[in-house]
Amino acid sequence: MEILDQDAACPSPSNCPSDPDETAEGYVMRNLAPQEAESFLLHLDGCEYCQRRVAFHVEYVQAVRDAAASHAGGGVLPLKKRSAAASLTA
């Protein structure tokens, strides 16, 4: 899993969300409002910075699920990836 530089800044802050890491996490966890998720998805298409953040959160959530599954006898289902997240981790 790639370690993110939390001090790194978005190369084009006028185009990125105010908190790209929080938005990426919310997107992966499906906690964004539908309109916000749609806007972020469109933004992801051209922003490698935010794509890396989404990929990190997908990997992190899957690692937590895998750890839980190994402790629970394999009863945890894999993370369902959104289309953009799936293409980023493929």
* pLDDT recorded at residue 32: 96
* pLDDT recorded at residue 86: 47
What are the backbone dihedrals phi and psi of residue 60, each rounded to the nearest 5 degrees, phi first? -65, -50
* pLDDT recorded at residue 54: 95
* pLDDT recorded at residue 40: 94
| C-alpha–C-alpha distance, residues 11 and 30, integer Å | 25
Structure tokens at 68: 């839980």
Collapse the DSSP code of 87 into the 3-class scheme (helix H, G, I; strand E, B; otherwise coil) and give the result: helix
Low-confidence ranges of the chain (pLDDT < 50): 85-87, 89-90
| C-alpha–C-alpha distance, residues 8 and 19, integer Å | 12
* pLDDT recorded at residue 71: 72
Question: Between the CA of residue 85 and those of 21, 55, 61, 72, what are the distances in Å?
Answer: 14, 6, 12, 26
